[in-house]
Structure 1
Amino acid sequence: MSRKRTLDAFFSPTVKKPKTETGAITSSDVISEDTTYSDHQFYPHPIKNLPASLSKELSTLPDQPGREINDQPDLDLLYFEPFISGSVSRRLFEFLRSELPFYRVEYKIKRGGIETQIRTPRWTTVFGLDETSKFNDKGLPVDANTGSRASDKQYARYPPRPIPKCLDELRHRTELATGCKYNFCLVNYYASGSDSISFHSDDEQFLGRDPAIASFSLGARRDFLMKHKPPPPNAPSPPSVNAKPLKLPLGSGDMVLMRGRTQSNWLHSIPKRTGKNQEDGGRINITFRRAMVKGGTDNYYNYNVGTGPVYRWNREAREMLLWKP
């Protein structure tokens, strides 16, 4: 666990001067004064801020205007193709994969009365805090209205942590482009075509009615599948819905905004991909969301951080490895 820092120092320059065995510092050991970090007591390690050149590129986003897709029942999408240009998206992909802490969350569920151990088939991480609270200048959650300190038990199981600057810059541009507000950032890393996420909808009550979710794709191209939900089994007279499945081959830098009645009526997935090609080098998915109540904070940290160890990308091994402080 990193040492405590106030939010005033959250983005302040951090200069690391590793020493050689003799204690001398060489020019190659010193990181530039321009290298800054986001730090928080519940980050496992300080998270590097974007290089100035990459930050400048993000300040002009989106690269292309969004295209509405609303020609099917209950479907309301805004598709940016791309939101981030190819070269910039590739740099951002490499940066985030190297600098963020990731987790391989395991949890138990009951199916037919039988308890099953689930290992999430992708790498995950999450940052943010629901609308009922905010971070004070010490990085601690306080009541959003009164500013009073949250009780020690309120977020004790999964202490929330602010969105680091390297992701918050993208959140800001996304809010401007979509006209929506977000307080959570979820990041998934799909290491290969065998990593996936099954059909689901993000329609939890803690997101409120008709939530808007902005979903970014960085790295390898992967198919994004959507299909309309079937009618409830106990519906007295299920309405006939003439909706066709949808497939979007998301490239690096593409963004899909799902809004309106989409989550309550459609399912989406990233299926496994068989075979190998030059684009199997990994994919990062970033989603920005807005959790309205504390249940959202508990849910997101439970299923995207959990209680397991931290992993980080190892450039030499070209894979996620267990991180040791």
Structure 2
Amino acid sequence: MSKRIQSFFQPIPKKPKVGTSSPDPSQPSDPLYIQQQHEQNQEEQQPPPTNHQTYPFPIPNLPPDLSKSLTTISTTLKAPKPITNHPHLDLLYFQPLLPPQTANALFHFLRNSLPFYKVQYTIHRGKTPTKITTPRFTTVFGVDATSIFTTDQEKTLHDAKTNTPIPPRTKYKHTPRPIPPCLTHLLQTIQTTTNTPPDYYNFILINYYATNTDSISYHSDDERFLGPNPSIASLSLGAKRDFLLKHKPGVEAGKPLKFPLASGDMVVMRGETQGNWLHSIPKRAGEGGGRINVTFRRALVPGGTENYYRYNVGDGGVWRWDEREGRMVSVDGEK
């Protein structure tokens, strides 16, 4: 470290004559040297990855530059556009929430850092069982309002009322996982920019759409475990995809609404929206890069925890982004 400091106080070299060799890369004026020093300083400042018994592998913390960018978002943020000009519709449209450079960095960080799952489950159409494979990668963190994770390093699961530990496999069939610090920082940014109480969102659900054929069909997040008139914030990162909304049957609301969500855009669905509208991310023609959708939501009772982990983690293997291959690969050797 002392040598590095001394290098900044070396005498300024004389201007080289034409035809002499390139500048010494050890000098601070050299771009390569400056970049190397920046990367080394980033590594020195980077907190160690977060480990927990429920994580399949340690999850990295946000790089300092990205963390700082998220902290200062509110200072330059434009007011969101309220959309309430249709029956029972109440949206806030941030276009964008995150500037392009921050959104791009966050997209690559989350895709590289989080465990993902390709969940399979069985539904029954009449008497015929049908096996469904979710047409996207998913992951989820959090627990419903009846439980909490301790704030110490162990992050032990406790009952919210009695503050007593919850033994494994007693209250929940699917083991809840604490929200890692990299997502907690993002959650705090969302809470600040949407004026949401700090204890409202207790779940973060993430979808990764690897290609344009990955999708999610029309549905509404109107389950009872969400409570009346729930608020759900949905942040888009990566490739632009259309977000469609249509009113549930029974009310004539015209053609579906279409929002071409770009990287950094966010839609907050609130009020009567979930109870009366359906939304989807349809397949689209052509090739396109990956897209990540981060949703912030609340579950009130254990049924919400079971639902989120059943359909977003499930019992299958873990997948992780491989930068060399440019795709998700199975940590467990699945195909």
Distance 1:56 1:151 in 2: 38
Q: Could you say which residue in structure 1 is the equivalent of 2:72?
A: 60
Asked if 1:317 is matched to 2:317, the reply is: no
Local SS of the residue matching 1:38? coil
Quick one: which of 262, 271, 275 aligns to 2:286? Answer: 275
Residue 227 of structure 1 deviates from its aligned partner by: 0.1
Asked if 1:117 is matched to 2:136, the reply is: no
Residue 245 of structure 1 deviates from its aligned partner by: 1.7
Contact 1:73/1:243 (8 A) holds in 2: no
Distance 2:73 2:129 in 1: 46
Q: Could you say which residue in structure 2 is the equivalent of 1:45?
A: 57
Quick one: which of 95, 98, 101 aligns to 1:87? Answer: 101
Contact 1:65/1:83 (8 A) holds in 2: no
Quick one: which of 217, 232, 236 aligns to 1:198? Answer: 217
Name the larger-Rg structure. Answer: 2
What does the per-residue CA deviation read over 1:219-238, in whole Å, with 9 as the maximum and x for residues that have no partner? 0000000000003xxxxxxx
What does the per-residue CA deviation read over 1:54-106, in whole Å, with 9 as the maximum and x for residues that have no partner? 00000022432211000000000000000001111011001100000000000
Distance 2:299 2:88 in 1: 22
Quick one: which of 254, 258, 261 aligns to 2:272? Answer: 261
Distance 1:67 1:131 in 2: 30
Asked if 1:78 is matched to 2:87, the reply is: no
What does the per-residue CA deviation read over 1:175-194, in whole Å, with 9 as the maximum and x for residues that have no partner? 12222220000000000100
Q: Could you say which residue in structure 2 is the equivalent of 1:8?
A: none
Task: Using the aligned pairs only, state the percent identity.
Answer: 54
Residue 202 of structure 1 deviates from its aligned partner by: 0.3
Q: Could you say which residue in structure 2 is the equivalent of 1:292?
A: 300
Residue 244 of structure 1 deviates from its aligned partner by: 4.0
Local SS of the residue matching 2:208? strand
The alignment's TM-score, normalised by the length of structure 1, stands at 0.85
Q: Which amino acid aligns with 1:228?
A: H
Quick one: which of 160, 174, 198 aligns to 2:190? Answer: 174
Local SS of the residue matching 2:112? helix
1:234-245 equivalences in 2 (<5 Å): 240-245=251-256
Asked if 1:225 is matched to 2:244, the reply is: yes
What does the per-residue CA deviation read over 1:219-264, in whole Å, with 9 as the maximum and x for residues that have no partner? 0000000000003xxxxxxxx5444420000000000000000000
Contact 1:73/1:241 (8 A) holds in 2: no
Q: Which moved more, 1:85-94 or 1:154-163?
A: 154-163
Q: Which moved more, 1:40-49 or 1:173-182?
A: 173-182
Contact 2:104/2:263 (8 A) holds in 1: yes
1:127-166 equivalences in 2 (<5 Å): 127-136=141-150, 137=152, 138-166=154-182
Q: Could you say which residue in structure 1 is the equivalent of 2:263?
A: 252
Distance 1:264 1:243 in 2: 18
The alignment's TM-score, normalised by the length of structure 2, stands at 0.82
Kindly tell me: are residues 72 and 156 of structure 1, through their superposed partners in 2, closer, same or farther at Cα, counting changes over 3 Å? closer
Residue 155 of structure 1 deviates from its aligned partner by: 4.3
Gaps of 5+ in 1: 1-27, 232-239
Q: Which moved more, 1:137-146 or 1:72-81?
A: 137-146
Residue 113 of structure 1 deviates from its aligned partner by: 2.2
Q: Which amino acid aligns with 2:57?
A: H
Residue 139 of structure 1 deviates from its aligned partner by: 1.9
Contact 2:172/2:302 (8 A) holds in 1: no
More helix by share: 2
